[in-house]
Structure 1
Amino acid sequence: MTRSPLILAVLALTLTLAGCGNRSVGNKIDDQFIAPEVSSSVARAHIDLSSPTSRIVVTSYNGVVLLAGQTPRSDLKAIAEQAARKVSNVTKVHNELQVMRPTSLLARSNDSLLTSRIKTQMLADSSVPGTRIKIITENGVVFMLGLVSRVEATQATNLVQSVSGVQKVVKLFQYTN
């Protein structure tokens, strides 16, 4: 059975990181499986959502799902959201898909570089809980997910806004206070 070693590896990694943040081990394990399940559900919902005309990025944090990327039609955006909502353990869906052609490889490379710079700065700044914030950059827009206090969210937002190349910041935090 090839899935068993993968499941054990994910479980071991999750247990190792259990001390990093306020989420339960169960929530962390759920998140490891939610994103791939949502991706599958979206791809099955309509053939154009799995074709090169669409680029869908799925991220999950504490049961909250972010759909980012591009799709050519608004009806596909709605279909993707409906498919994501049907997946078990999904508590909320943020549909940030843009109705447009998929971004270029250069734009995606710039997004990856921007995400790396942001994460590096977060880890270097002790006032920002970088280990509890997930950063996704899509077409210059930085999405932040995490379980943080309002003060921590403000500190993280200020840090992200100061990074060169950030076009817009979208906060999708769950607040602890």
Structure 2
Amino acid sequence: MTKKLSLIALVLLTVQLTGCFPAVVGGAAVGGSMAADRRTSGIYVEDENIELKTMKRMSQYMDKASHINVTSYNRIVLLTGEVPNAGQQAQAETLTREISNVRSIHNALTIGFASSISDRTNDAYITTKVKARFVSENMFPANVVKVVTEAGVVYLMGIVSEKEANDAVEIARSTEGVSKVVKVFEYTN
């Protein structure tokens, strides 16, 4: 019971910190994350714009029963979440393709009912654990790998060397609660 209460407290704290930290730190957070990011500042901003524009289109044209997350890294878009049918899955990709400057799309949407708040909280917790292990293992700069978790599946994005990719996959794969790891990396020479 104590372990469960600790887990709930950690998740609640994580959710609270994620919402407050950018508000408190503001521009310094962006500047700090940019220093460790391998994308140019222009691409970083473009990724943010791609995510916002895509989410706006999704809210306008997708079935309200859909739960879609959009993550852009170096103009490669990862779609995760759930949609009610194959038509909506294809529609989400089509809407994303219409956004300017999108280089490619990794459509990982599944067909089924939208995940529950409990499922999403568990995914956020898994993401937090993977990121924390990146920092504690100190095998590569932790900020060069973006972690997205959906239904226990961890998606890893970033511009990395093969060694960094292998290390990140091994850390993620061996993290409790991770059912599968999917690489959406770009490789450096």
| Aligned pairs for 1:1-177 within 5 A | 13-46=29-62, 48=63, 51=64, 53-177=65-189
The residue aligned with 1:3 is none
The Cα of 1:174 is off from its aligned counterpart by 0.7
1:120-167 deviations in Å (ceiling 9; x for gaps): 111122213310111010011101110101110000000001101101
For 1:79 and 1:11, the matched residues in 2 are separated by 35
Q: Structure 2: 5+ residue runs without aligned partners?
A: 1-24
For 1:172 and 1:38, the matched residues in 2 are separated by 19
Q: Residue 90 of structure 1 aligns to a residue in which SS? A: coil
The Cα of 1:17 is off from its aligned counterpart by 2.9
The residue aligned with 1:5 is none
For 1:108 and 1:59, the matched residues in 2 are separated by 16
Residues 55, 70 of structure 1: 8 Å contact kept: yes
Residues 33, 143 of structure 2: 8 Å contact kept: no
Letter matched to residue 20 of structure 1: A
Residues 14, 25 of structure 1: 8 Å contact kept: no
For 2:58 and 2:98, the matched residues in 1 are separated by 10
Q: Residue 128 of structure 1 aligns to a residue in which SS? A: coil
Q: Whose helix fraction is larger, Structure 1's or Structure 2's? A: 2
Distance 1:86 1:10, change over 3 A: farther
Letter matched to residue 18 of structure 1: M
Letter matched to residue 61 of structure 2: A
Q: What RMSD over aligned residues (CA atoms) do the two structures have, in Å?
A: 1.6
Identity %: 35
TM-score, normalized by length of structure 1?
0.87
